[in-house]
Structure 1
Amino acid sequence: MRGAHTVLGRSASGRGVPGRKLLGVLSACALAVSALTGCDALSTSSGSSEPSASTAAGGTASVRPSGYGAVFLAVGECSSFGTTSFTEVLCTSERAAARVVARYDGKVADGPSCPANTDFVLHISETRPASDEDGDGAVPQGYACMRKLEPPHPGDPGGGGGPRTLVGDCVYSSGSGKVRETACDGTGSKPPEYKVTSAVEDRSKCPPSTELYVQLGGVKPVGCARPV
């Protein structure tokens, strides 16, 4: 699940649930990686030669190159799941749990959004060893957009998580004019109240059944949501 979002507004026939705005990607302190997701800093496991990364919303972790490729967690590479760290592993390993579908340098706030099928996001801290003979030890700051190797996929429409809000996702009011995403099938910690049924350029283009307008971003930034 992702972080809270503020409302764009309700329709005149709305029930009084506060408007929302789903923040984008990397507020994963409610998404997979921290909860898969918890937004505390993660550290490299002691005794391990594999790099570790932090969860998607704010934590960072020291990382060390694993030798699996020139770039730590490059597109197509895999990571394990853990409660305190996520390490790069071979995709054929029994520990492999998620694959990198996109990888960007820099901060998530300044970079491109992750693909729509992203289940969670890993932040990667910058590491520049004081002694690095061959230049392989340096790891720049960046983030990796991850897709689990096995279902369920929280980033899919209605899955209750992922860094982006999509048509087909459900949300519930978390108070103070905020909403959070939850699974449409009711398996999340909170039952769904509204479902985003379409995305449009302007709220005036939402269908009559719309009771809540959700900010999605992109070329069609308004999500039209109806009660479920």
Structure 2
Amino acid sequence: MRDGRGVGARRTGMVCGLLMLVAAALTGCQQSSGTEERKLDETTPAPTRASGYGVVFLAIDECSSFGRESFTEVPCTSEKAAARVVARHEGKVGEGPPCPATTDFVLHISEQKPSADEDGDGAVPQGYACMRNLEAPHPGDPGGGGGPRTIVGDCVYSAGEGEVRETSCDSTGKKAPEFKVTAAVEKRTGCPASTALYVQLGGPKPVGCARPV
């Protein structure tokens, strides 16, 4: 039996999942190559508006622009808007609630405490925003080859001894898919006989059953 665990980094995912290949006894770390994780520029000014866009920095349903190294909050009607916040939490990703299953990428927000603003507060606490692109592609969708979470419908390939990484199921990624997560169950005994890989997904059904493709 072979094991793997998923760890994310910039544009490569945040979720760590225990992966066990039935074929051999190997251990390693799963990394989803298609997942995306980004960080806001620490010089981004704090919100100062009294209502609407900007009241809470990157609140749910607000939008961000894309940049090479930094991202800013913009009105969702702006031509610069590229992604929408689908969930927003304070603290670090590993210590807070997981992002929704089809999140495309995660924005990490640095703590900011400006000296002055319109309402006398304006502090932006450390946190993270779960983002969904306004337009395709959506790497967080099942089989999309990315996103911060491994979910039912995703595909992976062997990336070394005991290590697998996520890739798109339609073979448009850099690597062809070798396994596909077909079901989520409470325990490994609930997986079908065709299962060749077990993936720790988290949630009420933490075990993912994957078969060869």
For residue 63 of structure 1, report the CA deviation from its aligned partner.
2.9
Q: 1:32 aligns with which of 33, 36, 39?
A: 36
Q: Report the AA paired with residue 221 of structure 1.
A: P
Deviation digits for residues 188-209 of structure 1, max 9, x if unmatched?
1211110001111111111011
Verify: 1:9 aligned to 2:20, yes or no.
yes
Instruction: Give the secondary-structure state (helix, strand or coil) at the position aligned to 1:109.
Output: helix
- CA shift for structure 1 position 18: 5.0
Cross-structure match for 1:64: 45
Question: What residue ranges of structure 2 are gaps of 5+ in the alignment?
Answer: 1-11
Relative to structure 1, the CA distance from residue 33 to residue 10 in structure 2 (aligned partners, 3 Å threshold; closer, same or farther) is: closer
> Does the Cα contact within 8 Å between 1:70 and 1:136 map onto a contact in 2?
no
Aligned residue type for 1:2:
G
Aligned residue number for residue 83 of structure 1: 68
Instruction: Please give the secondary structure, in 1, of the residue aligned with 2:93.
Output: coil
Query: Percentage identity across aligned positions?
Result: 64
CA RMSD in angstroms comes to 2.4
- Equivalents in 2 of 1:188, 1:223: separation in Å? 22
How many pairs align?
198
SS in 2 for 1:86: coil
Contact 1:63 1:125 in 2 (8 A): no
Is it true that 1:217 corresponds to 2:202 in the alignment? yes
Match of 2:88 in 1: 103
Give how far 1:32 is off: 2.3
Please report how far the alpha carbon of residue 90 of structure 1 lies from its aligned counterpart in structure 2 after TM superposition: 0.8
Is residue 166 of structure 2 the alignment partner of residue 181 of structure 1?
yes
Q: Pick from 150, 156, 163 the counterpart of residue 171 of structure 1.
A: 156
1:140 and 2:87 matched: no
Taking structure 1 as reference, are residues 133 and 153 closer, same or farther at Cα in structure 2, changes over 3 Å only?
Answer: closer
Q: Name the SS for the 1:197 alignment partner.
A: strand
2: distance between equivalents of 1:133 and 1:4?
38
- Per the alignment, in what secondary structure is the counterpart of residue 73 of structure 1? coil
CA contact (8 A) 1:6 1:19 kept: no
- TM-score (ref. length: structure 1): 0.78
Instruction: Quote the offset at 1:116 in angstroms.
Output: 1.2
Q: How much has 1:62 moved relative to structure 2?
A: 3.7
1:93 to 61, 70, 78: 78
CA distance in structure 2 between the aligned counterparts of 1:80 and 1:222, rounded to whole angstroms: 35
Separation in structure 1 between the aligned mates of residue 25 and residue 172 of structure 2, nearest angstrom: 21
Q: Deviations over 1:36-92 (max 9, x none)?
A: xxxxxx6xxxxxxxxxx16xxxxxx34312433221001110001111111111101
Seen in structure 2, the aligned counterparts of structure 1 residues 115 and 145 have a Cα distance that, compared at 3 Å, is same
Opposite residue 99 of structure 1, the aligned amino acid is R
Q: Equivalent of 1:73, from 49, 58, 61?
A: 58
Write the distance in 2 (CA, Å) between the matches of 1:64 and 1:126.
11
In structure 1, the partner of 2:110 is 125
